[in-house]
């Protein structure tokens, strides 16, 4: 196991704990986004073949779409919060 894979793994574990600990839904969504990118990186680093690259690219595209949805949801939450205040 090389140092890059180990550091991404540690980052993903820390992010997982932050998701559990955080009380704010907006912060949880941001941590889930970070965790998605960590998983995509781990797939690419662990499976060292063309199929691993394809799987990583597919997961990365899906996590990017998911992060865009998260950003949109956070924006909508801010709008709703502004309306209620």
Question: Residues 42-83: pLDDT tens digits?
Answer: 888 888 888 888 888 888 888 888 878 878 887 888 777 766
With contact defined as beta carbons under 8 Å apart, do 1 and 20 qualify? Answer: no
- Which of the four pLDDT bands, split at 50, 70 and 90, describes residue 13? very high
Whether the full predicted model's pTM is greater than 0.95, yes or no, is no
Q: Give dist(CA 36, CA 14) in Å, integer.
A: 13
> What's the structural domain count of the chain?
1
Q: Which domain holds residue 19?
A: 3-84
Other CB atoms within 10 Å distance of the CB of residue 38? 20
Positive or negative, the CA dihedral 10, 15, 16, 17 is positive
């Amino acid at each position: 196991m090389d140092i890059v894979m180990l550091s991404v793994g540690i980052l993903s574990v820390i992010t997982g704990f932050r998701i559990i600990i955080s009380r704010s839904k907006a912060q949880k969504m941001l941590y889930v986004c970070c965790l998605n990118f960590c998983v995509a990186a781990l797939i690419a680093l662990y499976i060292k073949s063309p199929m691993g690259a394809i799987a990583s690219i597919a997961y990365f595209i899906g996590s990017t779409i998911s992060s865009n949805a998260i950003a949109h949801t956070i924006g909508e939450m801010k709008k709703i919060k502004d309306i209620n205040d």
